Amino acid sequence: MLKDITLGQYFPGNSPVHRLDPRTKLLLLIAYIVALFTASNWLTYGVVFAFLAVGITLSAIPLKSFVHGMKPLVFILVFTGILNLFFTTGEKLLVHFWIIHIYWEGIVRALFMMSRILMLLCGTFLLTYTTSPISLTDGLESLLSPLKKIHLPVHELSMMMCIALRFIPTLIEETDKIMSAQKARGADFESGNLVQRVKALIPILVPLFISAFRRADELATAMECRCYQGGDGRTKMKLLRYKLRDYKAFLLGALLLTVVFVLRGFGL
Amino acid sequence: MAPILQVQNLQHIYSIGTPFEHIALENVSFSVERGEFIGIIGHTGSGKSTLIQHLNGLLKPTDGKVLLDGQDIWSDKALARACRFRVGLVFQYPEYQLFEETVYKDIAFGPKNMGLKPEEIDRRVRQAADFVGILPEQLEVSPFDLSGGQKRRVAIAGVIAMEPEVLILDEPTAGLDPEGREEILRNIEDYRKAKNATVMMVSHSMSDVARLTDRLLVMNGAHLAMDGTPAEVFGNAEELLEMGLDIPEITEVFLHLRRMGLDVPQVYTVDQAVQVLAGLKGGNANA
């Protein structure tokens, strides 16, 4: 069922990671990604992995959820692995067959690339699993607010993101309902060739688009009725404030970056 | 003749094996005869919608069977699909599922999927439109230009055009004005009489089901709580109120009269009430 899509779903909880300020988590994620892309050997990868492992352990989110979230992205993972495996050249030739050359360096590189993607995904999942969409957009808005000076509509952008995230489950539910209704009229989505299958989507997409526009219209009216007029002079019910645990987390992030940079600087 | 639909020990559990596991139906059994008009009542989340989606094979039971004409609809895949044409299901707010350019094409969607000949499709579309009071000249307009009530009737025609032996409707009158409601209920009754079809209707309007149906199924907490004629079901007014369900307003009025010490029988339609009151009046005049 469509409802089972869990990609980036928020798991409510009260772990130390959940309680961190969303801005802290966003900044830490950026630091983590920088460290991950700086890392170039097993040692530095190990350091970055240790950081991730600490995060996942503290978040108390079952590993199963990470594995489950990874499923739709297996293709990209495998594709990257294969690409690196076949197209990296080096010195130690292991397999030579027709136009296929596999070097020892290729295997190493494929493993590095795949673990990099895996760790990248796990890091982002850790953020979205432990942060509700609302506090995430709140954090983003607050982090980007300096850009208001150059007339970037930061508030509007974060509001759009918030609304988009909010309506994903609603639209999934709606799609489910429309599919059932068209199936009840004998629509068939499971058989036929590609053209027939694409055509079979029309009875779902048309009502879905219409309802999405209708919802957008209703939402706009409802917001206007409550005098929404953008971000100017708007106050927040939940003000974001850094606490002690945020500073501790920053320290950990700084440590990660320093260690990775130093190790890399020494060429280790 | 054998019952058209038989439901045996139906059970449905959503998201089985996950933390979100939720029992929607438990041990539900009943059978439906040809030509019956059945009302299904129950408060939100009692399993009504889940139940009706089993009757045309949209949902597969986690346990138990649904028999159509004595045959298990899940015994083979083709049968499950064919059964959608024999058991027509109109969802809640069906007007949101319209998608074609013209009313005609939208009504023809179901019959087309059945693989009928063009002449037969044409006959069915026109007849279905006639059943729901859509004028022939309206067949060529876009369904999105119609009013809400008309859209609803086009959507119902889209299911009626498949000429199902069992027509199931999930709250067909929700959100319509009284006149539109009456009209749709009359259309449904017309179809039932013309085709000797079975109709099952989920409704929250107790006076509608009391007036129209021969039999009521009461769902409560995933179970079939009551199964009987409206007289039998509304006879258990206390029990219904406990389930968070209403009784027809007129039944309530008479219940009050009884509590006030007046010797009146239990009624559940306005017509009955009028008869009873007329009888009382006559009696008093004689006294």
User: CB of A202 within 8 Å of any CB in chain B?
Assistant: yes
Chain A residues within an 8 Å CB radius of B12? none
For residues B27 and A89, the model is more confident at: B27
pLDDT value of residue B278: 87
Predicted local confidence at residue B271, as pLDDT? 85
Average pLDDT, chain B: 88
Return the number of other C-beta atoms located less than 10 Å from residue A161's C-beta: 15
If pLDDT is split at 50, 70 and 90, which confidence band does A85 have? confident
The answer, for A185 touching chain B at a CB cutoff of 8 Å, is yes
Top residue of A5, A6, A65, A185 to mutate, by most chain B CBs within 10 Å, is A185
At A138, is the secondary structure helix, strand, or coil? Answer: helix
Cα(B49)–Cα(A161) distance, rounded to whole angstroms? 33
A4 touches chain B (CB under 8 A): yes
Position B173, amino acid:
T
Q: For residues B129 and A102, which has the higher predicted lDDT (pLDDT)?
A: B129
pLDDT at B197: 93
CB atoms A178 and B144 under 8 Å: no
- Residue B72's beta-bridge partner residues? B67
Q: Do the Cβ atoms of B97 and A207 come within 8 Å?
A: yes
Task: Give the confidence band of B236 by pLDDT, cuts at 50, 70, 90.
Answer: confident
Chain B residues whose CB is inside 8 A of the A187 CB are 109, 113
pLDDT in tens, B98-120: 999 999 999 999 999 999 999 99
Hey, are the CB atoms on B113 and A187 less than 8 Å from each other? yes
- With beta carbons under 8 A apart, name residues in chain B contacting A181: 91, 94, 97
Question: Which residues of chain A have a CB within 8 Å of the CB of B90?
Answer: 184
pLDDT value of residue B250? 85
Asked which of A174-178, B208-212, B261-265 is least confident by mean pLDDT, the reply is B261-265
Average pLDDT score over residue span B208-221: 91
A207 closest CB neighbour out of B88, B98, B114: B98
Fold of the CATH domain B35-56+79-231: Rossmann fold (3.40.50)
Is residue A50's pLDDT more than 60? yes
| Shortest Cα–Cα distance, B225 to chain A (Å) | 27
Between CA A86 and CA A91, with CA A87 as vertex, the angle to 5 degrees is 90
Q: How confident is the model at residue B187 (pLDDT cuts 50, 70, 90)?
A: very high
pLDDT (0 to 100) of residue A1: 44
What pLDDT, on a 0 to 100 scale, did the predictor assign at position A137?
Answer: 85
CA A183/CA A177 separation, integer angstroms? 10
Contact list, A178 vs chain B (CB under 8 Å): 96-97
User: How would residue B1 be classed by pLDDT, with cut points 50, 70 and 90?
Assistant: low
CB of A64 within 8 Å of a chain B CB? The answer is no
Alpha-carbon span A192 to A215, nearest angstrom: 33
Q: What are the residue boundaries of the structural domains of chain A, listed by start?
A: 2-131+240-265, 154-225
In this prediction, residue B216 has a pLDDT band, given cuts at 50, 70 and 90, of very high
pLDDT in tens, A211-238: 999 999 999 999 999 988 877 777 878 7
User: In this complex, do B113 and A183 lie within 8 Å of one another by their Cβ atoms?
Assistant: no
Domain ranges of chain B: 35-56+79-231, 248-287
Indicate the residue of B81, B97, B99 with minimum beta-carbon distance to A202: B99
Q: Kindly state the average pLDDT of the residues B173-184.
A: 89
Chain B environment of A186 (Cβ under 8 Å): 81, 84-85, 109-110, 113-114, 162
Determine whether the interchain pair B91/A182 forms a contact, defined as Cβ–Cβ distance below 8 Å: no
Q: To the nearest whole number, what is the mean pLDDT of chain A?
A: 85
Asked whether the beta carbons of B273 and B254 are under 8 A apart, the reply is yes
- Per-residue pLDDT tens over the stretch B117-174: 999 999 999 999 999 999 999 999 999 999 888 999 999 999 999 999 999 999 999 8
How far is B108 from chain A, CA to nearest CA, in Å? 10
Closest Cα in chain A, distance from residue B94 (Å): 8
pLDDT at A6: 47
Are A188 and B113 an interchain contact pair (Cβ–Cβ within 8 Å)? yes
- Nearest-angstrom CA–CA distance, B84 and B99: 20
A188 contacts on B by Cβ (under 8 Å)? 81, 113
Cα separation, B287 vs B283, whole angstroms: 6
Quote the CA–CA distance of A238 and A21 in Å, as a whole number: 11
Nearest chain A residue to B18, by CA: A4
Residue A159: pLDDT band with limits 50, 70, 90: confident
CB B111 within 8 A of CB B161: yes
Higher pLDDT, A6 or B239: B239
User: Complex ipTM, two decimals?
Assistant: 0.86
Q: Decide if A61 touches B, using CB distance below 8 A.
A: no
Who has greater pLDDT, A87 or B54? B54
Question: Quick one: which H or E segment has residue B67?
Answer: strand B63-68
Give A95's pLDDT tier (boundaries 50, 70, 90). Answer: confident
Nearest residue, CB atoms, B91 vs list A4, A180, A206:
A180
* Separation in Å, CA of B59 to nearest CA in chain A: 9
Task: Indicate the pLDDT class of residue B283, thresholds 50, 70 and 90.
Answer: low
The answer to whether B131 touches B190, Cβ cutoff 8 Å, is: yes
pLDDT exceeds 60 at position A4: no
| A178 to chain B, closest Cα gap in Å | 6
Instruction: Indicate which of B99, B106, B114, B151 best probes the interface with A, i.e. most A CBs within 10 Å of its own CB.
Output: B99
User: Residue B39: what are its φ and ψ, rounded to 5°?
Assistant: -100, 140
Our CA-based measurement puts residue A76 at a distance from the nearest CA of chain B, in whole angstroms, of 27
Contact between A186 and B15 using a beta-carbon 8 Å cutoff: no
Instruction: Look at B109 and A203 and tell me if their CB atoms are within 8 Å.
Output: yes
Q: d(Cα B28, Cα A98) in Å, to the nearest integer?
A: 64
Those residues whose C-beta lies under 8 Å from the C-beta of residue A133, and which sit 6 or more positions away, are A10, A162, A165, A166
B172 close to A (CB below 8 A): no
* pLDDT for the residue numbered B285: 46
Share of chain A above pLDDT 90, in %: 18
